[in-house]
Amino acid sequence: MAPVPPVMVSCGTTEKANIITVAWTGITNTVPPKTYISVRPSRYSYDIIKNSGEFVINLTTSALIKKADYCGVYTGAKVDKFAKCGLTKEAASEVSCPLIAESPLSLECRVTDIIELGSHDMFMADIVAVDVDDALVDKNGKLHLERASLAAFAHGEYFELGRKIGYFGFSADKKRKNPTQKAKK
Ligand SMILES: Cc1cc2nc3c(=O)[nH]c(=O)nc-3n(C[C@H](O)[C@H](O)[C@H](O)COP(=O)(O)O)c2cc1C
């Protein structure tokens, strides 16, 4: 499966917070909004998330990608990743673990189910709040994620999202698909 999002998942408390980079994640339901992360039980973050029942998914930008990689190779059992990466903890509105202030969009999540899959356990969660940088929202309330330089992970390498090549439903939009149609009538 590629590309996948290399998100930075924050967990723990403001006093003792950790970050784990996760690529096995996605949206699973619209109403109620649900997501998941799959985490190996051997990760330091695993028990923190299991015991608190909370985590925050922070989207990664090209500017953050080196820090995201760092959070994916070093363990919070030995290093304070917030301090080492110079990342800022920001209070969340619904959960007790902090957001990463430098991330443009954060999803506050509360675990509803833990599914043991084999190598990884899947934390199914309700998305209980979404925090977005003001700079990404226009005066009509439309979210412009294309301004965020989001990062993608594909087969062991990181990429920055590039040129726009379409939009949702553009294949069915006759007016845009065939702009000369109107003139022909
Ligand atoms: C791009 C990338 C994606 C990763 N995805 C996952 C994942 O989906 N699940 C997982 O358990 N570990 C994943 N890892 C590995 C953990 O992030 C890594 O083992 C990390 O050091 C664990 O941190 P912790 O011990 O502080 O919890 C990924 C690492 C990278 C670099």
Which tens digits make up the pLDDT trace of 132-146?
A: 999 999 999 999 999
Cβ-contact 138, 147 below 8 angstroms: no
The finding on whether 73 has its CB within 6 A of some atom of ligand 1 is yes
Burial of 169 (0-12, 13-18, 19+ CB in 10 A): exposed
State the average pLDDT over residues 7-22.
98
123 alpha carbon – ligand 1 mean position (Å): 14
The finding on whether 72 has its CB within 6 A of some atom of ligand 1 is yes
Which tens digits make up the pLDDT trace of 20-63?
A: 999 999 999 999 999 999 999 999 999 999 999 999 999 999 99
Gap between the Cα atoms of 7 and 16, Å rounded: 20
The finding on whether 8 has its CB within 6 A of some atom of ligand 1 is no
Gap between the Cα atoms of 48 and 12, Å rounded: 6
